[in-house]
Amino acid sequence: MIPNESVGTAILGALPSLLSFDFEPVGRWFEAHHRRAHSLHSHSHHSLDDSSSESEEEEEEDQFDEEDESLLLRLDPKEWKKQDHYAVLGLSKLRYKASDDQIKRAYKQKVLTHHPDKRKARGKLVKEGDDDYFTCITKAYEILGNKQKRRSFDSVDPEFDDDVPISSKDNFFEIYRPVFERNARWSTKKRVPKLGDENTPFDEVNTFYSFWYEFDSWREFSYLDEEEKEKGENREERRWIEKQNKAARQKLKREEMVRLRQLVDNAYACDPRIIKFREEEKEKKNAVKRAKQEAVRQRHFHLSLISPPLKKRQEILETERKKKEREEEAAKAQVKKSLLVYQTCLLLRFLRTMYNFEDFEYFASTDEEKILMMQDVDKVAELLSLTNLQELNENLTKGKDSAKDAFLNKLKLVNQQIEEEKRQQLELTQQKSVGDHQNVRKLWSEAETQTLIKAVNLFPAGTQDRWEVIANFISQHVSGSNKNAKDVLSKAKELQKNDMKLRDEVRKNAFSQFEQSHKAAKSGDMEKPSERLESVGEQQVRELGTNSAPWSADEQKLLEQALKSYQPSEPDRWDKIASAVPSRSKKDCMKRYKELCELVKAKKQAQTAVAAKNKKS
């Protein structure tokens, strides 16, 4: 429609219908437009951003290693596990800091240059199959391109320095700061505290050492496995390989933790901030101690100012106390003296009254009875108590018959007291005789004493229920023995008290029993006096192949060492053991071994019996 002021509006024709088309945004220009739209940047800012990103890419490429074909030619594809994968891809400068994109670009560059087809096109010699060094490039990307495998390789990075500095107070921060920063890469926690400097607050220093003493490392050593589990032919073999690899990893992990702990210990020992803090703490403690001492001194000083009146008051109290004690002692002595005087008066009154009974002939009809009655008077006067004596004096004044009855009653009472004392003394004597009889009944025989000495050595101090076990051991080896734990303990103390004398007697008796049982031949029975004098044991070894002499400590040690050296599966075991003990034959060694076995068995039986007895009780 064309507007016309003179004519007006007119319709010339109809517009065609609208058409819809689908467009897909692609290309780097659309990407640039998308970034500008979302970040609200202008075209000029985007152009600067592109230039900066290109410069960053150039800087990253500058961090790649220079092409060194001689390094690749020296690689052995069969020893790919020993190669430095970062160096193979030209990432020696970046190493574990290299990003996944940088690893991909480095690998592409190596492929474009060292692929066998590219080298053949340039006319270079290429080995067949996996013998070509390009296999090492592929293996390097296979390791570093996989996160898990790269983590395993980074754990054993050959360029990582595992050294631990020796404790040194000089240049502490210069020496230990790079070491801690280097080892911080193994932390599972991302925020690792810094070492700081001399002015770092102690709270931060304490946090730093607490973190490193509880350091949690992700470092693992699966890359060093000697065998791969997948190479096992069956499930059992794969499990065995995994078990071996796991044991080796745990050992390396323990060594790694020991290394880190040694690093932290060395740093903590020579950290000047820790040393300063310790000195300050020590000074604080000494200051508190000095303050306490000063307070005590001041207290004594103030007490010394008021001590004269206090001391005088204490002396007065002490004097009064002593005076009161003397008065109490004097009163007790006076009472005791009064009682003694009163008793003496009563006694004299009794004797005077009895002597006045001459007219009655002391209540007796004959001279013999008179003499006996006079003895009874002395007995009553000596043994009758003060109360009874007073009562008797009152009854003696009531007439002859009353006096005689009272006297005879008191005499009867005195005789009963005497009889009671005699009975008690007889009971004590009988109890003592019974105890002596029991002690005599439990006499120790020679066999029991020897067995006791052997059991004391066999069951040392510290054995549970030791004396009950020894008593049980003696009852097992000596028929008719009825010794209990108390008897054994008493006999052991007696042996310890009379150690030398009793043991000499036991040895003599044992030797005499040995001579009687074996009927050893005496040296005087030799037919030819010119023959070499031999001991009984040597003669038996020469004639019968046995030596019945007691085993010495050196022989016992040799036998025990030989038993350990020659196992039961050893051929001709007892011949070798006998050769290790020159003074004993094969039969002696076997016999001694059986004795030791029986001894150990008897020891176990005795302990088991006592344990069962205690369990029942």
Contact 494, 501 (CB under 8 A): no
When pLDDT is averaged across residues 244-259 and rounded to a whole number, the result is 88
Q: Is the pLDDT of residue 534 over 50?
A: no
Q: Is the pLDDT of residue 288 over 80?
A: yes
- List the single range of 155-159, 199-203, 417-421 with lowest mean pLDDT: 417-421
Q: What distances in angstroms separate CA 449 from CA 471, 473, 478, 595, one per listed residue?
A: 11, 12, 10, 19
- pLDDT (tens digit, 9 = 90+) per residue, 183-202? 888 888 888 888 888 888 88
When pLDDT is averaged across residues 490-511 and rounded to a whole number, the result is 66
Q: What is the pLDDT of residue 285?
A: 92
Q: What distances in angstroms separate CA 156 from CA 4, 187, 443, one per listed residue?
A: 89, 15, 78
How does residue 522 score in pLDDT terms, banded at 50, 70 and 90?
very low
Q: What is the pLDDT of residue 530?
A: 38
How does residue 544 score in pLDDT terms, banded at 50, 70 and 90?
very low
C-alpha span between 348 and 354 (Å, rounded):
10
How does residue 59 score in pLDDT terms, banded at 50, 70 and 90?
low
Q: Is the pLDDT of residue 168 over 60?
A: yes
How does residue 438 score in pLDDT terms, banded at 50, 70 and 90?
low
Work out the number of other CB atoms within 10 angstroms of the CB of residue 345.
11
Q: What is the pLDDT of residue 62?
A: 57
When pLDDT is averaged across residues 104-115 and rounded to a whole number, the result is 88
C-alpha span between 206 and 491 (Å, rounded):
64
Provide DSSP, 315-356.
HHHHHHHHHHHHHHHHHHHHHHHHHHHHHHHHHHHHHHHHHG
Q: 592: closest CA among 576, 577, 572?
A: 577
- List the single range of 6-10, 449-453, 565-569 with lowest mean pLDDT: 6-10
pTM of the model: 0.40
Q: How many CA atoms lie within 13 A of 14 on its CB side?
A: 3
Amino acid of residue 205? V
Q: What is the pLDDT of residue 6?
A: 55
Buried-state track 468-507, b at ≥16 Cβ within 10 A, e below 16:
bbbbbbbbebbeebebebebbebbbeebeeeeeebeeebe
The listed range with the strongest mean pLDDT (275-279, 457-461, 511-515) is 275-279
How does residue 48 score in pLDDT terms, banded at 50, 70 and 90?
very low
Q: Is the pLDDT of residue 538 over 70?
A: no
Contact 555, 596 (CB under 8 A): no
Q: Is the pLDDT of residue 525 over 50?
A: no
Q: 158: closest CA among 92, 74, 244, 252?
A: 92
- pLDDT (tens digit, 9 = 90+) per residue, 320-335? 888 889 899 888 888 8
Selected residue with higher pLDDT from 22 and 79: 79
State the chain's mean pLDDT as an integer: 76
Q: Is the pLDDT of residue 361 over 60?
A: no
- pLDDT (tens digit, 9 = 90+) per residue, 235-248? 888 888 888 888 88
Q: What is the pLDDT of residue 60?
A: 52
How does residue 513 score in pLDDT terms, banded at 50, 70 and 90?
low
Q: What is the pLDDT of residue 135?
A: 87
Q: Is the pLDDT of residue 592 over 80?
A: yes
When pLDDT is averaged across residues 257-266 and rounded to a whole number, the result is 89
Amino acid of residue 55? S
Q: What is the pLDDT of residue 535?
A: 42
When pLDDT is averaged across residues 84-111 and rounded to a whole number, the result is 87
